[in-house]
Amino acid sequence: MASEMTRPVLLYACAGVDTAAWLEALRCELPQVELRVWPDAGNLADIQFAFVWRYPPGMLARLPKLRAIFSLGAGVESILRDPELPREVPLVRMVDPALAIGMNEFVLMCVLHYHRQMDVHAENQRQRTWSRLVPPLPQDRRVGILGLGELGGLCAGTLVKHGFDVAGWSRTARAIEGVHTFAGVEQLPEFLRRTEILVCLLPLTPSTENIINNATLAHLPRGAYFINVARGQHVVDADLIAALDSGQLAAATLDVFREEPLPAEHPFWVHRRITVAPHIAAITQVKTAARTLAANLNRCLAGDAPANVVDRRRGY
């Protein structure tokens, strides 16, 4: 009975995910923890930790003993929008090996697709045109990654290994072997001017919202490609369509959208030069993610600070 009283209490409040699978994995990884599922939270003053995704805003403010908040997703912008998010409680983002593997595969696939002009071959097929195009060598293909964090940094390294001429842009200066790095708004135009295939892997913050717009797209060389695997709000939709229609962009692959699911009437669905993917570039896998979360929660229980804490001032 005494040990039952001292078990740490974790509140699970996640919508839009496979809750049964998550609960099974968490019970397996965290047998020492009492798991409560929102809204059956019991006495709110017992709760020390919360695992959240699409939870009711204001909920966390009602937990007076909360020690850490763990996001089930990599992007935390929706949690940061909670006006009552407790200020002093660390917010931890998801860093999951399966997420990284998925993103790495997806970005490599899209870059190779455009590098080998498969978009042109698909159009030629529709026209019954047999045209043997010679692609440039990868060292002559300039790929640029917006964001050099967990995911962008990994993708940049993979593209370097495949022989591409890779550049990356971040907020603060970064050094990644084989990657030309650019930092800050003042170096963004130079980075864009050398980028034939642009990949967006930025977090969504007030400084990165709408970053893909008429002005930034105009810096790219004519006929560039764009791959968005970050957030839909990074892109001004009308500007992207205008760039595709004018030939400034040759094609785009979009995995994320301002509104998801992408509404049936949205022009992206039917645009010849746009490939739509339903936010599947990297999907959190319950087993690996539960293991990562459990390891991080165990750090807290051992009295250490959790890893991957969001910097509230930076917004990611």
Ligand X SMILES: NC(=O)c1ccc[n+]([C@@H]2O[C@H](COP(=O)([O-])OP(=O)(O)OC[C@H]3O[C@@H](n4cnc5c(N)ncnc54)[C@H](OP(=O)(O)O)[C@@H]3O)[C@@H](O)[C@H]2O)c1
The C-alpha atoms of residue 228 and residue 251 are separated, in whole angstroms, by: 11
The minimum distance between CB 283 and ligand X, in angstroms, equals 6
Q: Check the CA dihedral 280-55-264-269 and report its sign.
A: negative
Cβ nearer to ligand X, comparing 28 with 307:
307
The C-alpha atoms of residue 66 and residue 50 are separated, in whole angstroms, by: 8
The minimum distance between CB 140 and ligand X, in angstroms, equals 26
The DSSP-derived string for 157-212 is: HHHHHTT-EEEEEESS----TT-EEEETGGGHHHHHHT-SEEEE-----TTTTT-B
Query: Which one is catalytic: 162, 279, 291, 299?
Result: 279
Cβ nearer to ligand X, comparing 117 with 255:
255
Cβ nearer to ligand X, comparing 110 with 204:
204
* Residues of this chain that bind ligand X (CB under 6 A): 74-75, 99, 103, 147-152, 169-172, 174, 201-205, 207-208, 229-231, 255-256, 279, 281-282, 316
How far lies 234's CA from each of 15, 67, 80, 119, 274, in Å? 24, 32, 17, 23, 16
The minimum distance between CB 1 and ligand X, in angstroms, equals 43
Whether residue 279 lies in the annotated active site: yes
The minimum distance between CB 13 and ligand X, in angstroms, equals 20
* Residue 130 DSSP SS3: coil
Which residue, judged by CB position, is nearest to ligand X in the bound state? 149
* Residue 152 DSSP SS3: helix
Whether residue 115 lies in the annotated active site: no
Cβ nearer to ligand X, comparing 12 with 316:
316
Q: At a CB cut-off of 8 Å and minimum separation 6, what does 55 contact? A: 13, 14, 15, 38
Query: Which one is catalytic: 93, 171, 231, 273?
Result: 231
Cα 125 from chain centre: 33
Q: Which two tokens stand for residue 292?
A: 């990562």
What is the CB neighbour count within 10 angstroms for residue 144? 26
Cβ nearer to ligand X, comparing 36 with 231:
231
Cβ nearer to ligand X, comparing 57 with 75:
75
* Residue 145 DSSP SS3: strand
The minimum distance between CB 255 and ligand X, in angstroms, equals 5
The minimum distance between CB 210 and ligand X, in angstroms, equals 12
How far lies 173's CA from each of 94, 159, 180, 183, 206, in Å? 23, 20, 11, 5, 20
In the chain, the amino acid numbered 208 is T
Which residues are catalytically annotated? 231, 279
